[in-house]
Each structure stands twice: as C-alpha cells, then as structure tokens.
Chains A and B, each alone.
Chain A
Amino acid sequence: MLKLLYFAWLRTKIGMAEERVPLPAGVTDVAGLIEWLRGRGAGYADALANLDVVKVAVNQEYVPFSHPVTAGDEVALFPPVTGG
C-alpha cells in the first residue's frame, strides 16, 4: 500500500487530505504515480495539471519527480510552501 497525503489547494481540489492505495501496476517513481493519479478523476487532473507548482515528499523528505516509489511509502503532494 501507499499512503498519499495532499495539502493546501491540492487537498481542496482532490477533495481529501489522505488516502491509501495499492501500489499501481507499472508505477515505479513519483512521475509515474502522478500520471496514474491524473487518470483517477477531474479533481486530480486539475490539481496535478501544472507540476511547476507541485512539490513532492517521500517519507517526509523532499524528492524530485524521478524519485522511486515503493510499497509502504508515504507520498505527499503539495504547493510551494508559504510559512514564516
């Protein structure tokens, strides 16, 4: 299984903060996971339309889209941060 987390406007566009999904067949990296997610519905496609404004963390560390994804990972998708 994968634990997927969405924050800020990705959360509101996708319509949930968190979900668990089986590792999709053929998905080996973050880019592949995002492509798979885009096919799950209009909310996902809208949230993930422009990857210039999407950041990724795997197991709570920032990673590039080329980073591998394996079963058991926690994958978070969110906009560039605006704290402070």
Chain B
Amino acid sequence: MSVRVQQQDFDIGAELAALSDGDTGIGGVCCFTGLVRDLHPQAGEAAGTVRALTLEHYPGMTERQLEAIETEARTRWPLSASLIIHRFGRMEPGERIVLVACASAHREAAFDACRFIMDWLKTKAPFWKLEETDRSGERWVAARESDENAAGRWV
C-alpha cells in the first residue's frame, strides 16, 4: 500500500514489477495510466491544441486524500498490494500524469479496485490542471459532471 506525489516521471514496468515482487499469491495486477493529451476537451471550440498542462496540488491534503481512497479500496476488495503515483508540475502531451495499480489473487478485485481508485481520485484528490493551448493561452480546466457521475457509481 503506497501513495507518492512527485514531480518526476515514473517507470511503469519497474513499478508493476516491484508491486508484485515477493508475493506469489498475487494472480493479477491491473493498472491505469493517465497521460497528457493534446486534444482540447471541448470539441468545436477554437481553442486549438493543448501544448502543456501544469498540475497544481495541495501538499499534505493530497497525500491524505489519496491514502484515504486507497484505504477505502482495500476495505472493499481483497487487494494484496496497491500503488498510487500522481505527478505535479508542468507536463507536455504524451507525458504520464498518474499511475494506479492494484494486485490481487483474482482479476475481478484488481480491475474493480483500480477503476474505483481512479474514479474517486478524479473528484476528491486536490489537484488542478492549468492548460496551455496554442491559440487561447492559459486557462484552468473545469471539473466535469461525468467525473462526478463516475465517482457516484461507487457510493
């Protein structure tokens, strides 16, 4: 069980290998990686493409919220190991932002817990994205109702 909030990139292969290393009771590891995309979320808007995102966060509360989400996942599913890494700072399209990985004896728990952690993280972890586009300059990304709905499925 581990949470890391960091500026630097991470190595997915090394992280997943370390997660299951030494526990031969693990039957599956499910992971999700979030990337910076260049496509502007509002299609049709003359905003152009995204050049970079800067992730701001609330040091201290961020770690507490991620740990609480991970703890909740482990009360709901029988996980052998879990990991959340979330980056902050400036990132360009193609860069990795977030990694969630869940290991369990069986795949169902690993799949479900991974999705649950991402859905709750999107609406509870105190991060904010500042977008730089090629045409409209900088703007703060607005929260999406679809993310609230996704998180609400798990209540």
Interface positions of A (Cβ within 8 A of B): 5, 7-9, 57, 60-62, 76, 78-84
Note all chain A residues with C-beta closer than 8 A to B86: 83-84
Q: Cβ of A76 and Cβ of B61 under 8 Å apart?
A: yes
Note all chain B residues with C-beta closer than 8 A to A79: 128, 140, 143
Q: A8-B128, A8-B130 are in contact. Are A83 and B98 (CB under 8 A)?
A: yes
Q: Cβ of A84 and Cβ of B121 under 8 Å apart?
A: yes
Q: A76-B58, A84-B125 are in contact. Are A9 and B98 (CB under 8 A)?
A: no
Cβ proximity bits B40-78 to A, threshold 8 Å, 1 near / 0 not: 000000000000000111101100100000000000000
Question: B141 an interface residue at 8 Å Cβ cutoff?
Answer: yes
Which chain B residue shows the least CB distance to A76? B58
Q: Cβ of A7 and Cβ of B143 under 8 Å apart?
A: no
Interface of B is mostly: mixed
Interface residues on B, range: 20 to 34
Q: Cβ of B58 and Cβ of A7 under 8 Å apart?
A: yes
Interface positions of B (Cβ within 8 A of A): 34, 55-58, 60-61, 64, 86, 97-98, 118, 121-130, 140-144, 147
Note all chain B residues with C-beta closer than 8 A to A7: 56, 58, 126, 128
Q: Looking at the complex, which one of B34, B60, B127, B130 makes contact with A81 (CB distance below 8 Å)?
A: B127
Note all chain B residues with C-beta closer than 8 A to A84: 34, 86, 97-98, 118, 121-122, 125, 127, 147
CA–CA, A84 and B56, complex, Å? 12
CA–CA, A76 and B61, complex, Å? 10
Can you show 14 pairs from A to B with CB atoms below 8 A apart? A7-B126, A60-B61, A61-B64, A78-B58, A80-B142, A80-B143, A81-B143, A82-B128, A82-B129, A83-B127, A84-B34, A84-B97, A84-B98, A84-B127
